[in-house]
Amino acid sequence: MSRAAAAGLVAVLVVLPWAGAGEYPLALLYSTFMYATLAVAWNIIGGFAGYLSFGHAAFFGLGGYATGFLLVHAGLSPFLTAPVGGVVAAVFAALAGYPCLRLRGPYFAVVTMILGLAVRAVVLNLPWAGAAEGLWMTLPPWEPLAARRAFYYAMLGIALVTALAGRAVRLGKMGVGLEAIREDEDAAQSIGVPAVRLKMSALILSAGLTGLAGGIYAYDRSYIHPDFMFDLHLSVLAVLMALLGGRQSWAGPILGAVVVRLVDELLTVRVGTEAARIIFGLGLALVIVLLPDGLLPHLMRLRRRAPRPPAAVPAAVVRP
Amino acid sequence: MLVQALQALATGLLTGSVYALLGAGFSLIWGVAHVINIAHPALAVGAAYAVYALATRGVDPLASLATVVPLFFLLGVGFHEGVIRPAARRAGDLVLVSMVLTFGLAAALENALAAIWGPGPRVVNVAYTGQAIRLGVLALPVPHVAGAGLAAVTITALYLFLHRTFPGKAVRAVWQNRDGAALCAINLRQVTSLTYGLAVASAGVAGVALALIYSFSPATHLTWLVFVFLVVIVGGVGSLVGAVVAGMVVGAVTNLATLVIPFAWAPFLLFASLGILLLWRPTGLFRR
Amino acid sequence: MGAMLRVESVSKRFGGLVVLRSVSFRVDEGAIVGLIGPNGSGKTTMFNVITGFHRPDAGEVEFTGRPLVGLAPFEIARAGIARTFQLVRPFAGLTTTDNVAAAVLYGRGVRHVHEARAEARRWLRYVGLEDAIDTPVGTLTLAGKKRLELARALATGPRLLLLDEVFAGLNPAESEGAVALVRRIRDELRITVLLVEHVMRVVMGLCDHVVVLGAGQVIAQGPPAAIQADPQVRRIYLGEGYGAAR
């Protein structure tokens, strides 16, 4: 996709609410933006660095609880405090992530999954965070359409920031380093890659962006509870979207998010939530087996009819 | 107080045998096939629901073993042949692919169970629920003893199989050195299928034991997953004996801990201890 | 010309197995030094100690006067020591160019990826991989992968290059090319070379100085001719009964 096409798409998305889009399409796009954020952010540590986190819901939920706490106890709107949610998630990632990143491969996956479950268990017992009753985050008395528009723009902004961050990482020095770590961490260190530092940076960035999304989502939801703010299903979804779309690019996860969101919408309407989750579980299993590289590389191969001369590879601007 | 502690210890050892069984099956698959079967505890929960379904029709859990064991054995073999082998052919890193794959399946199974029976907890009541065997000052609940007995018998059977029969020794050979075993003309495919069948069957048995001892819901598999990892990390991926000892230790410690720590914090502590263990000794505390 | 690398009484054990026993030797600046010995004599462990992957139980390692023990591998790489691996370890999912560009970015400290790629392409040409620029690693032969690993090591801008059995698995023509390349590296780029090798012909022809390890200890060191004649060396390679000088 060229720079012009991408800019055009963004322009359309920005204008959409004023062009008369109703509540339903705005809500659908809003959730798609959120999924895209989750997927792109996850991919920074999961796809580029190859450290598959199964606990990203922890960061998401922490962002939501941070804005929730600030709303309930300080009266501050999450539209202002969402960045704080991101920071809280990032700080948590820095503290909890450091020991986790010392593990590799399956052990890292397992320990992050446990981390996600542990955070849920802890928050369930914290009275000042609502414990098992949850937290109410009542919206001001806005008109439904106006509220939809506000959330739409907030999440669009977050998604754009995340996409730009993902792109910057992937195309820049950090991306090369993370990929070297993914391919062979020891060999990477032997050429000067500061593996621990890079992994930590990737995880912190990933967590912060995820927490940002959680901060806004919580407000939209208006009621938060550890069971769905730290839901393992969400962690799994992040993995699925990135794997489905294509782990090696920054834009692949966006494609994965769009597909997942659409399928989810179709399924929930037709078949109900539980059946949708069953299908997602099976879908994850299928995707990892059949499409280990994801969709995007397949699509890219279809588009390239003529083989390019190997030496002439300009750094295309919106190259995934 | 001492009586309470002894009681907790005894009950913990009983439940620990079920943990050991689950851990052993999980370890078998990881060690022999290099697959991390996240769905292992979920399969046990599935078996527990099967027991529940049969129990509501008047079938005693121990009798339902006659259905569960062969069914789960076939399920295990089918899973290996139908899912794992094709996956292994395509996958670069089977360990990670298997994690994601079985993760998805566990999630699907959990939601399927929730769709059929709802998310709430279920309990299996049998003729001997509520009865206890008196052993000096201790009162051992009969269902616990039954479950533990079941687990113990299964583990012993597994041990004898692995150490006294030729197919069992072939499994151990592959467990220790896959390539070496292949060079000795051991049919890897058959051995791995057999291992899968055994492991999943053992998960089924664990599910029956679980149904006897605990209440369970579709989401229970997550808590059990933590126990399984605790057992495998403490006992080592390669060791059946290690799994047994680790299971007992985990069971005893968690039960004793509930005496001192408020119940609400128990899950967190479990996770914390597993996390710490993983960080300290990712490859397990036991050498093979 | 002083000592670029000084290894002083380095010992290393793994559990009950003593792999290195008070090993001492030095590598002078501008030299090509060979480290030889039967399998299991501790050569690769020595490399791992120098590059920071193992911490010695005793002893010191100094590089241009700077102590290395305790430094992380990436710090040692940045300090100017590069290495290749016995079993090649390229970044399989990256292109040849990016393999080397990673080294330019992190070993030399260049900031921008396009600049690093340009430099990487120059290194690929230097090692003779001009036909494999910007290609996937999977398309390379073993010899090609070894050259790639060499380019990657060189791209970090090292002063000392550790080569771990680079010549293994090469046919005579490839071997000759590799020998010429190593000489160029020392002569043109002024990089000191320490190589672990089994191919004796190469060692004797290429090295200024040879250190022989046997069972974790230094059995002999000196110029190649002296090493070839040394009865101790004969014994550890050929067994008892061959120790007597001809």
Residue ranges of domains in chain B? 2-280
Separation between Cα atoms, residue A101 and residue A109, nearest integer Å: 10
Share of chain A above pLDDT 70, in %: 94
CB of C113 closer than 8 Å to CB of C101: yes
Whether residue A52 and residue B99 make contact (CB cut-off 8 A), yes or no, is: yes
C71 touches chain A (CB under 8 A): no
Separation between Cα atoms, residue C223 and residue C207, nearest integer Å: 8
pLDDT value at residue C245: 47
CA dihedral B46→B48→B53→B55, nearest 10 degrees, is: 170
C96 touches chain A (CB under 8 A): no
Chain B residues within an 8 Å CB radius of A114: 226, 229, 271, 274-275, 278
Inform me whether the pLDDT recorded for C103 exceeds 90: yes
Q: What residues contact residue C221 under an 8 Å CB cut-off, 6+ apart?
A: C25, C209, C210, C211, C212, C227
Chain C residues within an 8 Å CB radius of A315: 113-114
For residues B111-118, give the mean pLDDT: 91
Whether residue C156 and residue A179 make contact (CB cut-off 8 A), yes or no, is: no
Whether residue A180 and residue C94 make contact (CB cut-off 8 A), yes or no, is: yes
Report in angstroms the alpha-carbon separations of C38 from A75, A279, C206: 74, 58, 19
For residues B261-285, give the mean pLDDT: 67
For residues C114-124, give the mean pLDDT: 96
pLDDT value at residue C157: 95
For residues C151-169, give the mean pLDDT: 94
Q: What residues contact residue B140 under an 8 Å CB cut-off, 6+ apart?
A: B10, B11, B14, B132, B133, B134
Whether residue C73 and residue A171 make contact (CB cut-off 8 A), yes or no, is: no
Q: What residues contact residue A319 under an 8 Å CB cut-off, 6+ apart?
A: A171
Cross-chain CB nearest to C91 (options A183, A189, A192): A183
Q: Report which listed range, A106-110, A123-127, A202-206, is most confident.
A: A202-206
Q: How confident is the model at residue C240 (pLDDT cuts 50, 70, 90)?
A: low
Whether residue C116 and residue A172 make contact (CB cut-off 8 A), yes or no, is: no
Please write the tens of the pLDDT for every residue from C212-238.
Answer: 998 888 989 999 988 888 888 877 776
pLDDT value at residue B264: 61
Q: How confident is the model at residue A310 (pLDDT cuts 50, 70, 90)?
A: very low
Inform me whether the pLDDT recorded for B66 exceeds 50: yes
Mutation target to probe the A interface, by most A beta carbons within 10 A, among B100, B116, B263 is B100
Residue A238, min C-alpha distance to chain C (Å): 22
Inform me whether the pLDDT recorded for A319 exceeds 80: no
CB of C58 closer than 8 Å to CB of C9: yes
Residue C78, min C-alpha distance to chain A (Å): 5
CB of B236 closer than 8 Å to CB of B20: no
CB of A296 closer than 8 Å to CB of A282: no
Share of chain C above pLDDT 70, in %: 96
pLDDT value at residue A36: 97
For residues A206-224, give the mean pLDDT: 95
Least confidently predicted of A304-318, B140-154, B201-215 = A304-318
Share of chain C above pLDDT 90, in %: 72
pLDDT value at residue A259: 92
pLDDT value at residue A314: 45
For residues B142-151, give the mean pLDDT: 88
Inform me whether the pLDDT recorded for C110 exceeds 70: yes
pLDDT value at residue B267: 62
What's the mean pLDDT when you consider all of chain C?
91
Residue B81, min C-alpha distance to chain A (Å): 14
Q: What residues contact residue C30 under an 8 Å CB cut-off, 6+ apart?
A: C1, C186, C190, C192
Residue B28: name the closest of B227, B236, B206, B183 by CA: B236
For residues A172-183, give the mean pLDDT: 96
Whether residue B268 and residue A232 make contact (CB cut-off 8 A), yes or no, is: no
For residues A179-199, give the mean pLDDT: 96
* Tokens representing residue C156 in the block: 């970090």
Residue A27 burial (C-beta neighbours within 10 Å; 0-12, 13-18, 19+): middle
CB of A17 closer than 8 Å to CB of A152: yes
Residue C72, min C-alpha distance to chain A (Å): 8
Inform me whether the pLDDT recorded for C189 exceeds 60: yes
Inform me whether the pLDDT recorded for B286 exceeds 80: no
Residue B14: name the closest of B26, B24, B3, B6 by CA: B6
Which DSSP string do the residues of A196-216 spell out, in sequence order? HHHHHHHHHHHHHHHHHHHHH
Least confidently predicted of A77-81, A111-115, B167-171, B262-266 = B262-266
CB of C25 closer than 8 Å to CB of C82: no
Q: Which element (helix H / strand E) includes B124?
A: none
Share of chain A above pLDDT 90, in %: 51
Least confidently predicted of A32-36, A57-61, A245-249, B268-272 = B268-272
For residues A124-131, give the mean pLDDT: 80
Inform me whether the pLDDT recorded for A276 exceeds 60: yes
> Between these two residues, A255 and A270, which has the higher pLDDT value?
A255
pLDDT value at residue B282: 60
A183 touches chain C (CB under 8 A): yes
Topology adopted by domain B2-280 = ABC transporter involved in vitamin B12 uptake, BtuC (1.10.3470)
Inform me whether the pLDDT recorded for C116 exceeds 60: yes
For residues A62-84, give the mean pLDDT: 93
Least confidently predicted of A118-127, B128-137, C68-77, C88-97 = B128-137
Which chain B residue's Cα is nearest to A243? Answer: B100
Which chain B residue's Cα is nearest to A54? Answer: B100
Q: Report which listed range, A19-23, B144-148, C87-91, is most confident.
A: C87-91
* Tokens representing residue C180 in the block: 């010429």
Write the CATH number of the domain with boundaries A22-302.
Answer: 1.10.3470
- What does the angle CA A55 – CA B284 – CA B150 come to, to the nearest 5 degrees? 90
pLDDT value at residue C69: 93
CB of B31 closer than 8 Å to CB of B237: yes
pLDDT value at residue C204: 87
Separation between Cα atoms, residue C136 and residue C126, nearest integer Å: 19
A186 touches chain B (CB under 8 A): no
Residue B157, min C-alpha distance to chain A (Å): 30
Number of other residues whose CB lies within 10 A of the CB of residue B118: 12
Residue A4, min C-alpha distance to chain B (Å): 37
Number of other residues whose CB lies within 10 A of the CB of residue C241: 8
A232 touches chain B (CB under 8 A): yes
Q: Which residue blocks in chain A are alpha helix, DSSP H?
A: 3-15, 23-43, 57-74, 78-100, 105-123, 144-171, 173-183, 185-190, 195-221, 226-229, 232-245, 252-271, 273-290, 295-303
The pairing of beta strand C32-36 with beta strand C209-214: parallel
Residue A228: name the closest of A270, A273, A261, A271 by CA: A273
* Tokens representing residue A41 in the block: 């952010």
pLDDT value at residue A317: 37
For residues B77-81, give the mean pLDDT: 93
- Determine the straight-line distance between the first and last CA of chain A, rounded to whole angstroms: 9
Whether residue C134 and residue A311 make contact (CB cut-off 8 A), yes or no, is: yes
pLDDT value at residue C246: 44
In one-letter notation, the amino acid at residue B184 is: C
Mutation target to probe the B interface, by most B beta carbons within 10 A, among A122, A184, A274, A291 is A274
pLDDT value at residue C60: 94
Inform me whether the pLDDT recorded for C244 exceeds 60: no
Cross-chain CB nearest to A310 (options C73, C92, C135): C135
pLDDT value at residue A102: 85
A133 touches chain C (CB under 8 A): no
CB of C127 closer than 8 Å to CB of C151: yes
A311 touches chain C (CB under 8 A): yes
Inform me whether the pLDDT recorded for C88 exceeds 90: yes
Cross-chain CB nearest to A310 (options C74, C77, C134): C134
Q: Please list the residues that pair with B135 across neighbouring strands.
A: B138
Separation between Cα atoms, residue A42 and residue B100, nearest integer Å: 15
Residue C168 burial (C-beta neighbours within 10 Å; 0-12, 13-18, 19+): middle
Cross-chain CB nearest to A105 (options B96, B103, B109): B96
* Tokens representing residue B58 in the block: 């008047």
pLDDT value at residue C71: 95
What's the mean pLDDT when you consider all of chain A?
88
If phi over 0 gives left and psi between -120 and 50 gives alpha, with beta otherwise, what is residue A259? alpha
For residues C61-78, give the mean pLDDT: 94
If phi over 0 gives left and psi between -120 and 50 gives alpha, with beta otherwise, what is residue C190? left
Separation between Cα atoms, residue C41 and residue C216, nearest integer Å: 5
Q: Please list the residues that pair with C209 across neighbouring strands.
A: C33
Whether residue B111 and residue A292 make contact (CB cut-off 8 A), yes or no, is: no
Q: Which element (helix H / strand E) includes C214?
A: strand C209-214
Residue A306, min C-alpha distance to chain B (Å): 27
pLDDT value at residue B278: 67
Separation between Cα atoms, residue C128 and residue B110, nearest integer Å: 57
Cross-chain CB nearest to C77 (options A179, A190, A311): A190
Q: Which residue blocks in A246-272 are alpha helix, DSSP H?
A: 252-271
Least confidently predicted of A124-138, C2-16, C62-76 = A124-138
Quickly tell me which residue has 């045998």 as its tokens: B17
Q: Please list the residues that pair with C214 across neighbouring strands.
A: C217
What's the mean pLDDT when you consider all of chain B?
85
> Between these two residues, C242 and B98, which has the higher pLDDT value?
B98
For residues A35-40, give the mean pLDDT: 98
pLDDT value at residue A200: 97
Whether residue A105 and residue B104 make contact (CB cut-off 8 A), yes or no, is: no
CB of C234 closer than 8 Å to CB of C243: yes
> Which subunits have 3 or more CB–CB pairs within 8 Å of chain B?
A
